[in-house]
A = this chain, B = another copy of it.
Amino acid sequence: MASMSISMSNFLTKSANPQNTPHFRLRPSLAIPQERSLGTGHHRTVQMKRISCALIEADGGGLVELLVKGEDLRDLKRREALEIPRIKLSRIDVEWVHVLSEGWASPLRGFMRESEFLQTLHFNSLRLDDGSVVNMSVPIVLAIDDKQKQLIGDSDRVALVDSTNNTVAILSKIEIYKHNKEERIARTWGTTAPGLPYADEAITNAGNWLIGGDLEVIAPIRYGDGLDRFRLSPAELREEFIRRGADAVFAFQLRNPVHNGHALLMTDTRKRLLEMGYKNPVLLLHPLGGYTKADDVPLSWRMKQHEKVLEDGVLDPETTVVAIFPSPMHYAGPTEVQWHAKARINAGANFYIVGRDPAGMSHPVEKRDLYDADHGKKVLSMAPGLQRLNILPFKVAAYDKTQGKMAFFDPSRPQDFLFISGTKMRTLAKNKESPPDGFMCPGGWKVLVDYYDSLAVPENGKVPQAVPA
């Protein structure tokens, strides 16, 4: 899967050049002109100033990027890293380093120290020195075990290395504190039932200590899976929104294939924003790219599917930016949807579309959904630090048999509508059956069928890995 080459002619991509300058393929010009009308009547003066004026401000007043700048300094840090204790990161740890490095979690400056961890667990928010409050609902923490703690000893910093022992980052002014896993799980998920995917993957067998500190990331995180060019940082996204003259950015988080119901919703949202007086609302179609559970469709297949949807013209490429959100998935419902929304503020989004049961899943033990389907929307609308964000509740779309297409559900004629659940969609694709015409563009559907086809081959009873190693 990692070697699969994807050509996404309609996609916003960035070049792999070492200066990490974004390379946007949708417009012919690569250089961002210094003086250019934004279509909103404003003119650009200094680049950073323009960014903060035109788009919603990042949490805490400015994007906190934690990347070491310049090759010389990077080399210096790499050499320093050889002289301090080394901690090996898991794949999910690296994803969090990625998230932190680009400022998705601004104003966090590294893995959480205990005061931030406690505020996250108890208040889903952090109070800053100036008294203001930012949202922060999922712990971004790094676990170490007794042996690693002993190894660190009195050192006030550690090097973080990847699976091949390359130095990824340095963590300074460290604080080591207890990792109460039960409490962390209970307060994050509202249950301690066994079988929570993220807990099984990253908490239950993790060490009994957490290590927080200030993070310096040596170089941009790359996965080499052919999708790095879609992993735009918040700063790069902000650049692009400004380049397009966006006066509203509406974010759509997803971890599933896009069907025409989603497309209808996104198109309708843009229409509503235009009616509200915005001149150029831009959609951030933002699939989650980090850890997902084994039965979710893997990122690479989802990206192929999204490409087909754009190619098919279901969404307008001129007003749509597709990029990958690097966070791992918690499946923590109302707690996690706040993180999904907050991170998009940092990327410049001031509107957020929230669906039914966002970040939800089945209860791992009981026969019911883990969360009330309405709680995500309700909690999000009341969450501390998110008052600046406009929450757009998801209108329910279903297949309208009378029109032969996806349409907003009309409660006055329920008999005309067919609800196609994720489970049903997956079952159809697995069995190579077709959904009703108009449910999903044929090219997108074929990607799904191909994905399940690729799974069927081994027949060795092994559960497919959601995240390529």
Residues of A within 8 A of B (CB): 114-115, 118-119, 121-125, 127, 131, 133, 137, 178, 180, 182-183, 186-187, 189-193, 334-335, 371-372, 375, 378-379, 382-384, 387
Contact = CB atoms under 8 A, between A and B. Distances in A.
A191 to B, nearest CB: 5
B191 A186 contact: yes
A189 B186 CA distance: 8
Most buried by B among A133, A180, A387: A180
A379 B119 CA distance: 7
A331 to B, nearest CB: 14
Contact of A190 (B133, B186, B387): B186
Contacts of A133: 384
10 contacts: A114-B378, A122-B334, A122-B379, A123-B123, A123-B124, A183-B190, A186-B187, A186-B189, A192-B192, A384-B384
Interface centre among A118, A334, A378 (most CB of B within 10 A): A118
A371 B182 CA distance: 11
Contacts of A121: 190
A365 to B, nearest CB: 10
Contact of A125 (B187, B193, B334, B384): B384
Contact of A123 (B114, B189, B192, B382): B382
A137 B382 CA distance: 15
Complex A-B, nearest 8 residue pairs according to Cβ-Cβ distance, in ascending order: A183-B190, A186-B186, A186-B190, A192-B192, A187-B190, A119-B382, A122-B124, A186-B191
Copies of this chain, complex-wide, total: 2
A132 to B, nearest CB: 12
Given A123-B123, A133-B384, A187-B190, 19 more contacts: A115-B378, A115-B382, A122-B124, A122-B137, A122-B334, A122-B335, A123-B125, A123-B383, A125-B384, A127-B384, A180-B372, A182-B191, A183-B190, A183-B191, A186-B186, A186-B187, A186-B190, A186-B192, A384-B384
B118 A375 contact: yes
A123 B334 CA distance: 12
Nearest to A182: B191
Contacts of A180: 190, 372
Nearest to A387: B131
A178 to B, nearest CB: 6
Contacts of A182: 190-191, 193
A382 B118 contact: yes
A359 to B, nearest CB: 13
A467 B102 CA distance: 55
A372 B180 CA distance: 9
A186 B192 CA distance: 7
A194 to B, nearest CB: 12
Contacts of A127: 382, 384
A180 to B, nearest CB: 7
Contacts of A119: 382
Contacts of A131: 387
A114 B382 CA distance: 12
Nearest to A177: B372
A191 B183 CA distance: 6
A190 B189 CA distance: 10
Contacts of A192: 186, 191-192
Contacts of A124: 122-123
A36 to B, nearest CB: 37
A64 B381 CA distance: 26
Nearest to A372: B178
Contacts of A375: 118
A369 to B, nearest CB: 11
A118 B189 contact: no
A94 B124 CA distance: 31
A357 B335 CA distance: 26
A372 B184 CA distance: 13
A168 B138 CA distance: 42
